[in-house]
Amino acid sequence: MPLQPLKLAVLHYRPKGEELDPAVTEVVEACQELGHQVTKVPVDDRVQEILRDVQKSKCDLVFNLCETFAEDYRMEVNIAALMELARLKFTGSGTAGLLLAQDKVLTKQILEFHEVRTANFATFENDTFETKGTLRFPLIVKPARSDASIGIGRHSVVQNWQELTERVREIRDELQDEALAEEFIEGREVYVGLVGPSVAPEILPIVEMDFGNWSSAEPRVSDREVKFAPEKEGSPRLVMARDLSDELRARIERAARLAYRALKLRDYARIDFRIARTGEAYILEANPNPYLEKKGELAMAAADRGWSYTQLVERILESAAQRYHLQVTPARRSRAAQAQSQTGT
């Protein structure tokens, strides 16, 4: 059911002097199209300003797009914790979901408990080394708590114990983080978007990373260059996954739904998979509050489902509103729904 017009505060990371992220503008425009009153609240490195500016907006709901604080992605969970302490209503995952998904080791342990397939792995904490399952090289070594592919690249794939030890040391020294090593799954990489409450999210069509003219001699790793560099002819690009069998698609969707619920995610998320050559699908990681730019994975999947970008934003708002018992108006159709009806799409 569509929402009555709300006062929204769009919380987003914007260091002084930097340009506004395009996703912020797109979300704001979508919210305004839906009839909501919107105030943009930028976040940099001052805690007091966050609560002051949000409270000044007198908003009914915060649309939380803030993934960073003071240039540290690991502080994303602290933004949610701050809003929870202030009793603010906000979209997206709360402290619990962000904390569980941010810690890749904890994520894998929880998924293992729920019998969701992930690659065998080893953890390195101080002088402690622990393994889960028999490890076989090559391995991919990641920071345990980073985001946005920070610390991940082709150099992350190691072929022997010496390379493994060197990469673990680099992660500790350069990123001040512990390391996670897991078996490198060579195969297709797909992304599953989910929208809605934890108990019953809607699963969107599956998106795939087409690696284009990637050299067969190089391991296929979705690093920051793959994800954020301008697209060129033959470079990696996002496509819809069209040739998955019904049985494989069902297994991937079931695993995504279990992960969404087990990790306490809500409103919207993206679960990343690798499909091995054996046909098994392994969860790589869970992404609460994924990037909402129109050309991103979630918006692309929503468009394939037949939703406009504004309708995607509307579904996220409706999920949050349901959780907080914000009033809905059954008799009023949303502007997005009206526009779709008028265009006949």
Cβ 92 vs Cβ 64: under 8 Å: yes
- State the Cα–Cα distance between residues 165 and 294, nearest whole angstrom: 40
Q: Which domain covers residue 191, as residue numbers?
A: 100-119+186-300
> Is 112 in the same domain as 248?
yes
| Owner of token pair 């076989």 | 136
> Is 293 in the same domain as 198?
yes
> Is 226 in the same domain as 198?
yes
Q: What angle do CA 212, 216, 219 make, to 5 degrees?
A: 90
> Is 215 in the same domain as 258?
yes
Tell me how far CA of residue 293 lies from CA of 26, 172, 221, in angstroms.
Answer: 7, 32, 22
For position 224, what pLDDT does the model report? 65
> Is 196 in the same domain as 313?
no
> Is 110 in the same domain as 244?
yes
> Is 34 in the same domain as 63?
yes
Please give the structure tokens belonging to residue 58: 């007198």
- Where a domain ends, among 132, 158, 183? 183
For position 23, what pLDDT does the model report? 97
- CATH number, domain of 198, equals 3.30.470.20
**281-288 vs 7-13, strand pairing mode:** unpaired
Cβ 190 vs Cβ 206: under 8 Å: yes
> Is 205 in the same domain as 293?
yes
Q: Total structural domains in the chain?
A: 3
Terminal-residue alpha carbon distance, the chain: 19
pLDDT tens across 80-117, in order?
999 999 999 999 999 999 999 999 999 999 999 999 99
Q: Which residues pair with 8 in a beta bridge?
A: 38, 61
For position 69, what pLDDT does the model report? 95
> Is 81 in the same domain as 15?
yes
For position 316, what pLDDT does the model report? 98
Q: Which of 295, 330, 319 is nearest to 309 (CA)?
A: 295
Q: What is the 3-state secondary structure (H, E, C) of 293-314?
A: CCCCHHHHHHHHHCCCHHHHHH
Q: Is residue 1 part of a domain?
A: no
For position 176, what pLDDT does the model report? 86
Per run of 10 residues, the mean pLDDT along the chain (length 345 residues) is 88 94 98 98 95 97 96 93 98 97 94 96 83 91 76 87 93 89 96 96 97 86 73 88 96 98 98 96 96 96 98 98 79 46 46
Going across the sheet that includes 139-143, the strands are 128-132, 121-125, 179-183, 139-143, 157-158
> Is 38 in the same domain as 108?
no
Q: Is residue 2 part of a domain?
A: no
> Is 148 in the same domain as 47?
no
For position 147, what pLDDT does the model report? 66
Burial class (CB in 10 A: 0-12, 13-18, 19+), 243: exposed
> Is 22 in the same domain as 142?
no
Burial call 305-341: b when 16+ CB within 10 Å, e when fewer? eebbbbbbbbbbbbbbbebeebeeeeeeebbbbeebe
